[in-house]
Structure 1
Amino acid sequence: MNRRRPTLLAALTLTAAAALTLSACGSDDKPASDNDKIAGADTGSEKPASPSPSASDTGGRPEITFPADAKNVFEYQKTGDTTKDAVLKDSTLGVNSVDEAIFSGSTDTKALGFYNTESALSDSITYVLGYVDKKRTWVGETRYFDYKVNLVDENQAYVTYCSDESKSFIKDKKTGKVEETPTTADSYVLYNTKLAKNAEGVWQTTDIASDRGSETCQP
């Protein structure tokens, strides 16, 4: 489905070191639309990850659940670097927590503030409320791929990735109507994110920028 991600996400300022790795990133300056969807996650593996969100295997982390008619598929390989793999895993869980809030119809979920902070959290709350106020959700499958991770230091990292939203659609909760639309260039989005490790060792997303219709993510 064609969905325009809203421009509420703050532009991400890259350090010089990160820019070397993430030179393809950009921010989205296109108008917002009611059909916007934020996407997100499970853990990575050498094969496409399980489409069903799951709780982290680390004690104390909140479980994230999705309805039966919606799923996210994450395609990335573990790097073999313990820190980078932790960043990737928490990055996907951070985005997934936003979807869970949309599904639950509330921003008062444990995972949303657990995996997101600073501007990423405030922007995500505003974003979720856009769904809640209009009594909307989404169904289908969103695919994430082409992950790149860059460590700035032991507590900061940047992650970029693409999403394929061609098989996920906006649904009206009141009527049950699903808004199916054709696949176009705008079904593909490039995401550019910044993460920071907190005192508990969780890599929280702090900033997000996106470029809908990016040629980098086109099939």
Structure 2
Amino acid sequence: MPAEKNAPRFDLPPDLKVAVDRESSGDPAKDIILRDTAYAAQARVEAFAKSESRAANMSRYFAANALSFWAGRVEAFKKDGLTVTGDYRYFDFEVSDVADGNAAVRYCEDQSKAFNKVIKTNKVRRTQPSDKSFVLYTAQVTRGSSGDWQVTQQSWKDGDPACVQR
């Protein structure tokens, strides 16, 4: 499938993979919201990988409280000398409550093959996968002035049964 016009480019290191399993909702307007939410998830991983809290893709797909929160988390991660490595997978995207340029979105993240890595030594901090490796994200998204849908508020729950893969 060819890249969409104006699609972001993600600059990920070779030891980091991000997979997005996103099916069509059957509604073109909702599919755009889900596409941009998937881009936001990838932008967040990219920001952690590059240790850039205000990376272009983060600023494009996050705004308001969500951008401030994640930028702070990236900075704290960087201060601790950490980055990310491994495989992230995003799946089960759903959108609801679309009205007046706002929508609610939920999706799952599989971190079972994703790990922290110490920047100075390249030592990977491997953890044993568990139910907590699967995260349910819920987000409020708003259509920004550029036309992209941006995550403005976000919460998550580790180990949510809706996302746990066996």
Would you call these one fold, judging by a TM-score over 0.5?
Answer: yes
Report deviation, 1:199.
Answer: 2.4
Q: TM-score, normalised by structure 1?
A: 0.70
**Contact persistence 2:54–2:71 (CA under 8 A):** no
**What whole-Å deviation, never above 9, does each CA across 1:90-133 have from its counterpart, x for those lacking one?**
10111221222222222232111111001010001111012111
Report deviation, 1:204.
Answer: 0.5
Report deviation, 1:80.
Answer: 2.7
* 1:57 is aligned to 2:4: yes
Q: Relative to 1, partners in 2 of residues 1:64 and 1:199: Cα closer, same or farther, differing over 3 Å? A: same
Determine the structure 2 residue equivalent to 1:144.
90
2:127 equivalent among 168, 176, 181: 181
* 1:85 is aligned to 2:31: yes
**Contact persistence 2:91–2:108 (CA under 8 A):** yes
- Written as runs of structure 1 = structure 2, the 5 A alignment for 1:14-29 is none
Structure-2 separation of matches of 1:101 and 1:145:
20
Determine the structure 1 residue equivalent to 2:51.
105
Structure-1 separation of matches of 2:147 and 2:51:
28
1:159 equivalent among 105, 129, 134: 105
Gaps of 5+ in 1: 1-44, 46-55
Structure-1 separation of matches of 2:98 and 2:26:
17
- Written as runs of structure 1 = structure 2, the 5 A alignment for 1:62-73 is 62-73=8-19
Q: TM-score, normalised by structure 2?
A: 0.91
- Of the two structures, which has the highest relative contact order with CA contacts closer than 8 Å and spacing of 6 or more? 1
Q: Which has the higher strand share?
A: 2
Structure-2 separation of matches of 1:206 and 1:169:
26
Q: Given residue 159 of structure 1, which amino acid in structure 2 is its aligned partner?
A: V
**Secondary structure, in 3 states, of the residue corresponding to 2:73?**
helix
2:42 equivalent among 90, 96, 100: 96
TM superposition outliers: structure 1 runs of 4+ over 4 Å:
none
**Secondary structure, in 3 states, of the residue corresponding to 2:127?**
coil
* 1:118 is aligned to 2:53: no
- Written as runs of structure 1 = structure 2, the 5 A alignment for 1:34-49 is none
Determine the structure 2 residue equivalent to 1:133.
79
Report deviation, 1:151.
Answer: 3.8
Structure-1 separation of matches of 2:106 and 2:20:
13
Structure-2 separation of matches of 1:214 and 1:110:
31
Report deviation, 1:200.
Answer: 2.0
Q: Given residue 199 of structure 1, which amino acid in structure 2 is its aligned partner?
A: S
**Secondary structure, in 3 states, of the residue corresponding to 2:122?**
coil
Determine the structure 2 residue equivalent to 1:200.
146
Identity within the alignment, %: 30
Report deviation, 1:154.
Answer: 4.5
